[in-house]
Structure 1
């Protein structure tokens, strides 16, 4: 961001090149009219040239409001001029070929001038798109490097340091007792950091791996419920699972289902009722659904999954929801939150591994 700011301070007028091209186009159009002599036909030709020149004004406004760097805009301006010159030279070459072959050439001047500003108009928009795409690709490549670096730090440095703190905390518990308030608070925060570190590592692993495999969604749900009961023995979950629900999903599907179940427990009181089901409607996706009677996931956290990025004003309080989101997304499925007045419902739609791929498979399944 610092580099971009400095660049804008030192050269903040690159988009004005498009206005210069437009002004030159206006002058050239009017000059062409005077050069060949005004008539109704020439007036229409001048109008066409003025229209093409006017599109460059739009390109200048578009460039000014874009997120392209100033060096990128200078590159766009150069490409625009090069495209205009290339179109003009192409028109000259075509005119010369026609003359050499004895074909009558009508209005050569207009053809060359028209080709020039047509090239500028086309080149401006095409170059803006091409340079913006290239800069976005470069930025995404840098983001991947940043994520890789963060993953390495979280896997090694942070976890190792937390392990050292955990060891000293165990020594402190032995001296003052595990019931000490300061020790209890410190233990809670260390456990939270360790769990956050582990979830972050798992999310990055999901993002880096896209190897889906066939899984029995009913068995996955049953295993996830067993894991939940081991951690929360007093929790009662009502299960209803179809026996023929085979999905094509990421290997982390079990973790995602467990996160949904755990969320229903952790964010509600002890009296919450939880039901989980797996259904496989003919010709449709397999649906894994978890419903609870408590407050569940806040609405603002659900909407975050549809936003382009997290901000300081809107972000998820934990990483569990993101783990679910990335697992289902990498499985080519969707996460839904149906409106439920009595609690919260989380619905995971996953591809049916037994259905033929594509639209034809869905049509066959529905007709059957």
Structure 2
């Protein structure tokens, strides 16, 4: 339904009034010949017009107010998301700048550059990653809660696992899933799974063991990524299960916070538990929109 501006409401009311008068008068003059009866019918018709037109204007105004409330809530939510992300990124940028500045000063004083280059390069990569995730936020924040795409989720996650296996050949990545699972999934589901997988490999070390499992029933789709690493650092755990204030104050897990945002927009949940492999298991759970089995 188009936006109900005052001009459109007035236009609808005017159109309704003109059509009411024309057609109701045609009906009255066609079927009522007695002048006195016609007068009473016209009076009743006028009263009915007032009631019906009042109800129409009320309904249109209520719809317009509802649309305004929805827009205001959507803007409030997006502003909140951008504010949280801004503060997280600013925190990360400040830390990165401090490290690079410290390494530069140390290299200048010692007259040796080489020992500090690795750290500076790693921090530069971190800056590039933050820039990429900042652009991702724009799409995620604008994504509606009900935005879904039909996808063979089993095939998509298998491809993601294959890509990371190629990028980290020393890691062991297993995927436990039905052969096929075509369903409606959140538009950024692939990003969420990729982020969880990368996080598990990075924290688990070059020879990490990671198991990705996909399960679904008629109501829910669940993806679990578990590893044999040391577990999530406190800052990144906060991004998964902390409240807003905790995220604003402590979190450095930008990617995990974006995963949480994707899941919450799909009315899902992100949870952390101990892994049977000895590390941590992060489960992404979203309601199933197609009612499959």
**TM superposition score category, shorter chain reference:** 0.5 to 0.7
Distance 2:176 2:131 in 1: 33
Distance 1:145 1:292 in 2: 32
Distance 1:296 1:185 in 2: 23
Whether the 8 Å CA contact 1:224–1:255 is kept in 2: the answer is no
Alignment-derived partner of residue 229 in structure 1: 165
Which of residues 213, 221, 225 is equivalent to 1:277? 213
Distance 1:284 1:312 in 2: 29
Indicate whether 1:287 and 2:225 are aligned: no
- Structure 2 alignment gaps of length 5 or more: 1-68, 94-112
Deviation at 1:262? 0.8
Distance 1:326 1:213 in 2: 17
Count of aligned pairs between the two proteins: 197
Deviation at 1:273? 1.6
Map 1:42-81 onto structure 2 (within 5 A): none
Q: Secondary structure at the match of 1:355?
A: coil
Which of residues 140, 158, 161 is equivalent to 1:206? 140
TM-score scaled by length of structure 1? 0.46
Greater Cα offset, 182-191 or 234-243: 182-191
Deviation at 1:331? 2.6
- Structure 1 alignment gaps of length 5 or more: 1-133, 159-178, 357-364
Alignment-derived partner of residue 250 in structure 2: 315
What is the root-mean-square deviation of aligned Cα atoms in Å?
A: 3.6
Indicate whether 1:252 and 2:197 are aligned: no
RCO (CA 8 Å, sep 6+): is it higher in 1 or 2?
2
Whether the 8 Å CA contact 2:241–2:271 is kept in 1: the answer is no
Indicate whether 1:326 and 2:251 are aligned: no
Alignment-derived partner of residue 102 in structure 2: none
**Structure 1 residues 197 and 311 mapped into 2: Cα distance closer, same or farther (>3 Å)?**
same
Deviation at 1:202? 0.7
**Structure 1 residues 203 and 143 mapped into 2: Cα distance closer, same or farther (>3 Å)?**
closer
Indicate whether 1:197 and 2:197 are aligned: no
Deviation at 1:146? 9.7
Distance 1:270 1:312 in 2: 28
Whether the 8 Å CA contact 2:173–2:211 is kept in 1: the answer is yes
1:125-151 Cα offsets, whole Å, 9 max, x none, are xxxxxxxxx9xx69x659739949x98
